[in-house]
A and B are shown apart, each in its own frame.
Chain A
Amino acid sequence: MPPSVPPSVPPSVPPSAQPSGLPGAAAARTPRRAVVRFLRASFARVSSSKPRSVAEHVTDLADLPPAWTGRGSAAWPAVPLLAALALWAYAVRHTDVSHLDDFGLVTALHPAFWAGLALLTGGFWFTVRDPERRSAWSFAYVLGLLVMERATQAVLYPTPLYSWAWKHDGVIDHLLTAGGLQTAGQLGDMAVYDQWPGFFAAQAALVRLLGVESASMYMAWWPLVSSLLLLLPLLLIYRTYTEDRRLIWTAVWLFYVANWVGQDYFSPQSVAFALHLGVLAVVLRRYGRSGGRRGQRQAVWTVLITVLIVAIVISHQLTPGMLVVSLLALCLTRRYRGWVPPVTAVVIFLAWCLTAALPFLSAAMPDMIRSVGDVGANVETGYGATPTGTGAIATSWAARLLSGSVLLLALAGVVRQRVLRHRALPLLLLAAAPLPMFAASSYGSEMIFRVLMFMLPGAAFFAAAALLPRVRTLAGDAAARQAGRRGPALGAGRRRFALTLPGRRVAWLPPLVLVAATLAFVPSYSGKDRINYFPPQEVALVHELFDRATAGSLVVAPDRNYPLAYASYWNVDHYWFLEDDKRHVEEILRDPAAVLARDMAAVEPPGRAYVLFTRGQTANSEMNGMLDGAQLAHIRTSVAASPRFALVARNSAGAVYTLRTGS
């Protein structure tokens, strides 16, 4: 596309030809002739190089073919795509992550990364708008987006991110060591993972089958893998309601850029979410009323979704609940008023909760019942999760703005696209279905993020619809014609619907919104990498600690934000003092060495008591509103100077001390 030609308005079409600017039928005739002339001219140009008739595929002005139809035009989307990937490759080779500040990866990234991401988004927008382009180009752009979004950290950082991912590595290590599931009597609070073991058991098998030392060898790539898993179900869900490739692929794009919540890391929920979308895709496509006679066919489909639901239920606590509310929401429509899917999900969920997961649920039930209906508390993010410092606050606001913008766009899409609102009502219900979960539980102060993630598949569809021409039915088109508001028809009589073009004055707005949302993903997703990244020295230090820690030992640390924090959790105890009562934290601050020595004194030989300080703990404490760097340094200095403690190991990432026996 030459730069002089706007993406959606051909140069030969005057501004008055746009439907929104026409006061009456008489005014419509002139622009209609202009459009027909343009179409004929375009057809003459294109037909010389392409066998198919362009006019057959044109549905609105936005579908008009590009003015440049030269020999290389079919492959021009490769230019921005390859250029963006080249910029990305250059950027990751020239990005230094050894000194991250409070903005995480945002300030560390080479400027070429941002240019590449903007170029990729621009290329995608101009590619997806052209109906003559095959979906393969949009697919290639989405793959490019996933590489730039979800593989950059895996390429840049030498170690896996997120203490939670390291924790899950610890759970797999436990399953491989124990060879079976254990109870709360053996594992304490960590037994919860043995009651939802699906993901961990499969990963334990994978570790053995790949012949690698642990899951940490590949878990840095999991965000890319789990994001790719979502692609097929997402495409199927959107293809149930529209054939418009622009809408399908723009919705997929918006889903990925708005899904900054970070549940794609090495975790059960990352796989359970893909399975959840798979069940929804099957239900939306195969359980509608227009599918003809049921019976054997539906029984076979029910067997297949049962396999998927069982895999969800044995893997994750929250996803089955989200699936049930989503399936119940679909039952609100006449089209999907079949009770087989929700009843199947409820029965399997209850069967698991009342058997394998009963120990955890019976212990947690009083708290869960207390939190039902307490929406305010459930929405709160809790102590230790208050963004503190310029970087943390700025990236946190970027994430909020991104989510808010996509949800507002979705709202605009719902209001603006009356036809889609009717046709894709199930997607609207799926977007709203997770909202009641606010009243159900706080889910460890994370409910607001999880609800947002489960809303996204439906919300992204309507957000994309807000950026694209309006969909009209044939009847609506005729009514508009009668009312004298009809725009230039392009063979409307032969088509079931026509799309309208946004006014020329705002033609630049949709691509700008898309670029802004895509760029905003980076601070939202990677803005806290100072907390989430553990340099190799930090991993080595903790390894050294656990190599020494015998069964019955205790590891004390300010917080749990360090790699391998749950290593050997089945025989080594942990105490994170910033999670303790605030008065006790103040007591520790007054006399760190003495109070910590007292807290650690109960360890019996041959176990030893260790205290660990790392840079990841400091970053987490500072950026989440707990103790600041000076206070933590005071604690560490006090321990280092105390005769009660002896230095075990130290490097640039931190230090380990042990309580001397007899202290």
Chain B
Amino acid sequence: MTPQELVVRMLPAFGGWLALAALTLPGGSPLRGAAVVVFLAAGPGAALVRICGPALRARRAEGPVERRDPHFERHSDLLEGLMLALLLSVGVAMIVATVLIAAHAFSGQRVLLTLTVLTTLAAFCPSLRASPTPRTPKGAAP
């Protein structure tokens, strides 16, 4: 694993622990708000996208009929990753908060702690590999 891959893998979890640490700052503090909002808006989703990424990128996405810009497809995939990181984070935060409130175990710190622990666990999960295509010869490199 390269240092860059390690940073990508650990950054979302680090963001969660940073947000937890930021709770010691006074309420309404901009630093506290920034740490919490950035993690809630991107952390859990980014961790999930990293796990699923290789499997998701194994096949090309649907795209325009005309393909003139060689970078267009790559940029679309990048936008897709960003969108998933954002929307999955929002979605997971809503689900975790709902579960805790339905279980009468709700508090802001518990929501953040749960999301941070899930994100940290995700950081230690290996990425899902794409299944080889049927035409891949035996013994070939994946």
Contact B111 A209 (CB under 8 A): yes
Contact A293 B67 (CB under 8 A): no
Per-residue contact bits, chain A 83-100, to B (CB 8 Å; 1 contact, 0 not): 000000000000000000
Chain A residues near B19 (CB-CB < 8 A): 209
Q: How far is the CB of A207 from chain B (nearest CB, A)?
A: 7
- Contact residues of B between 53 and 93, Cβ < 8 Å to A: 55-56, 58-69, 72, 76, 79-80, 82-84, 86-88, 90-93
Number of interface residues of B (CB under 8 A): 62
Q: How far is the CB of A200 from chain B (nearest CB, A)?
A: 9
Chain B residues near A315 (CB-CB < 8 A): 94
Q: Smallest CB-CB separation from A294: which chain B residue? A: B59
Chain B residues near A297 (CB-CB < 8 A): 55-56, 58-59, 130-131
Contact A304 B48 (CB under 8 A): yes
Q: Quick one: given A180-B102, A300-B52, are A240 and B79 in contact (CB under 8 Å)? A: no
A295 within 8 A of B: yes
Contact B64 A179 (CB under 8 A): no
A241 within 8 A of B: yes
Q: How far is the CB of A198 from chain B (nearest CB, A)?
A: 4
Contact B131 A295 (CB under 8 A): yes
A68 within 8 A of B: no
Q: How far is the CB of B42 from chain A (nearest CB, A)?
A: 12
Contact A204 B83 (CB under 8 A): no
A522 within 8 A of B: no
Distance A206 CA – B112 CA, assembled complex (angstroms): 9
Contact A205 B111 (CB under 8 A): yes
| Most chain A beta carbons < 10 A, residue from B29, B106, B130 | B106
Number of interface residues of A (CB under 8 A): 64
B138 within 8 A of A: no
Contact B66 A243 (CB under 8 A): yes
| Most chain A beta carbons < 10 A, residue from B36, B58, B65, B101 | B101
Distance A640 CA – B83 CA, assembled complex (angstroms): 56
Distance A476 CA – B49 CA, assembled complex (angstroms): 41
Contact B108 A207 (CB under 8 A): yes
Contact B56 A204 (CB under 8 A): no
Chain B residues near A201 (CB-CB < 8 A): 94, 97-98, 100-101, 106
Contact A275 B131 (CB under 8 A): no
Chain A residues near B134 (CB-CB < 8 A): 293
Q: How far is the CB of B94 from chain A (nearest CB, A)?
A: 4
Chain A residues near B94 (CB-CB < 8 A): 198-199, 201-202, 271, 311, 314-315
Distance A557 CA – B38 CA, assembled complex (angstroms): 41
Distance A241 CA – B19 CA, assembled complex (angstroms): 39
- Contact residues of B between 124 and 138, Cβ < 8 Å to A: 128, 130-131, 133-134
Distance A477 CA – B132 CA, assembled complex (angstroms): 41
Q: Give the contacting residue for A211; candidates B29, B82, B92; CB below 8 A.
A: B29
Contact B95 A205 (CB under 8 A): no
| Most chain B beta carbons < 10 A, residue from A236, A274, A335 | A236
Q: How far is the CB of B93 from chain A (nearest CB, A)?
A: 5
| Surface stretch bound by B, among A102-110, A280-288, A508-516, A561-569 | A280-288
Per-residue contact bits, chain A 293-326, to B (CB 8 Å; 1 contact, 0 not): 1011100110110011011001100000000000
Distance A209 CA – B31 CA, assembled complex (angstroms): 12
Mind listing 17 A-B residue pairs with CB under 8 Å? Answer: A180-B101, A204-B108, A205-B93, A205-B106, A205-B111, A209-B23, A210-B32, A232-B87, A233-B87, A239-B79, A242-B64, A278-B84, A285-B63, A286-B61, A291-B59, A296-B131, A311-B90
Interface residues of B (CB under 8 A from A): 19, 23, 25-29, 32-33, 36-37, 40, 48, 52, 55-56, 58-69, 72, 76, 79-80, 82-84, 86-88, 90-95, 97-98, 100-104, 106-109, 111-112, 128, 130-131, 133-134
- Besides the contacts A205-B108, A206-B108, what 18 more A-B pairs have beta carbons closer than 8 Å? A57-B68, A197-B98, A198-B94, A204-B106, A205-B93, A209-B36, A209-B112, A210-B36, A210-B37, A211-B28, A211-B32, A212-B27, A229-B87, A243-B64, A243-B72, A275-B91, A278-B84, A288-B62
Interface residues of A (CB under 8 A from B): 57, 59, 175, 179-181, 197-199, 201-202, 204-212, 217, 229, 232-233, 235-236, 239-243, 271, 274-275, 278, 281-282, 284-286, 288, 290-293, 295-297, 300-301, 303-304, 307-308, 310-311, 314-315, 335, 356, 423, 495-497
